[in-house]
Structure 1
Amino acid sequence: MKLYIKNMVCSRCEMAVKAELEKIGHPVVSMTLGEVEVSGDIEKSEMQLLTNNLNLLGFELLDDKVSKIIERIKNLIVDLVHYKTEKLKTNLSNYLAEDLQQDYNSLSNLFSEMEGITIEHYFIAQKIERAKELLIYNELTLSEIAFQLNYSNVAHLSNQFKKTTGFTPTHFKKLKDKKRIQIDDL
């Protein structure tokens, strides 16, 4: 049985969801961001308990097709920006269309209608939050950050950063109160 879970955006989220499934006696067969497969079916009473426990942790079980698609798009982008180190071999639209096996224009229209933001703007927001995180860690140069986030050059990253945050990356680094947004709030 496959479950789709909203707000499951990191490895700690995966551990929390796995623990909740094991509590009700359903070990995980496979897991990716936003998706969990368990062997067998989950009874109605167990599903209600799981739903309640996941809600307490800030997760939500998705049951309609549109919500599943939107969450899958978000999880693919989060995974791409925050966890993948290799550069995409194709563009974002092809990447999403291939994974979801749907026309990108349909996905884009659906995402914009449901989220009030384009897929591209969501992707940029994720990249800027990742850039903020890397700037705060202060372990990489701006050039290294631009390279890691697959920007064509530092100027492109800087322009997008300023347009999104109102600050240059250098000015952001100097701020005492770093304003980062949690992944699931984007």
Structure 2
Amino acid sequence: MTIYIQYMVSFRCKLLVKAELDKLGLLYTAVELGEVQLKDSLSAAQHAQLSTALLKSGLELMSNKKTILIEKIKHIVIEMVHHQGDTPVINASAFISEKLNYDFNYLSKLFSEVKGTTIEHYIIAHKIERVKELLLYDELNLTEISYQLNYSSVAHLSGQFKKITGLTPTHFKKMKAYKKRITHENV
């Protein structure tokens, strides 16, 4: 049996869900972001217990098919942006459509209706957050970040970054370094 869990977005969430399943004695074969494969079906009492336990941690069992589909789209975007080494370099719409086995136009319309933004804007927002993260780690230069996140050029990445944050990537990096230096001087 597959159950779907909303707001499950990190490794910590997976650990938390596994712990709750173990506490309730529920056997599972896989725990992925937003999705758990149980060995057996849940009784109404087990469903209620699991739902209550997850809600205490800010997670929620889902049953609405459209909500489940939206969460799957979000998880695919996170996978594309944060684990890009594991995903092929293809058109995002084709990748999402292929992963979910739905026409992209349907997915796009549904996502926009429910989330109030397009899948493209959602992807861009996640890519910019990833760029910020990589800039702060200071392990890659802008060219390497651009390549890693499948931007067509550094100029494209920089333009998108400035449009979203109001800063150039270089200015963002300098600002963070300055704040860090000031914080250490005041300690």
TM value normalised by structure 2? 0.90
- Give % identity: 50
**Is 1:106 the counterpart of 2:106 in the alignment?**
yes
Q: Corresponding residue for 1:181?
A: none
Contact kept in structure 2, 1:5 and 1:62, CA below 8 Å? yes
Q: CA deviation at 1:133?
A: 0.7
Where do residues 8-157 of structure 1 align in structure 2 (5 Å cutoff)?
8-86=8-86, 88-157=88-157
Q: CA deviation at 1:96?
A: 1.2
Post-superposition CA distance 1:33-86 (Å, at most 9, x none): 211101001121221121111112121111100000000000000011112314
Q: Give the SS at the match of 2:52.
A: helix
Q: Give the SS at the match of 1:4.
A: strand
Q: Which one has a larger percent helix, Structure 1 or Structure 2?
A: 2
Write the distance in 2 (CA, Å) between the matches of 1:23 and 1:2. 19
Q: Corresponding residue for 1:184?
A: none
Post-superposition CA distance 1:134-162 (Å, at most 9, x none): 11111111111111111111111100000
Contact kept in structure 2, 1:18 and 1:27, CA below 8 Å? no
Residues 1:25 and 1:87: Cα distance change in structure 2 (over 3 Å) = closer
Q: Give the SS at the match of 2:84.
A: coil
Q: CA deviation at 1:90?
A: 2.6
Write the distance in 2 (CA, Å) between the matches of 1:98 and 1:87. 12
Residues 1:49 and 1:34: Cα distance change in structure 2 (over 3 Å) = same
Q: Corresponding residue for 2:4?
A: 4
Contact kept in structure 1, 2:4 and 2:62, CA below 8 Å? yes
Gaps of 5+ in 2: 181-187
Contact kept in structure 1, 2:6 and 2:61, CA below 8 Å? yes
Amino acid corresponding to residue 120 of structure 2 in structure 1: E
Contact kept in structure 2, 1:27 and 1:39, CA below 8 Å? yes
Q: Give the SS at the match of 2:110.
A: helix
Amino acid corresponding to residue 15 of structure 2 in structure 1: M
Gaps of 5+ in 1: 179-186
Q: CA deviation at 1:20?
A: 0.9
TM value normalised by structure 1? 0.90
State the Cα RMSD in Å: 1.5
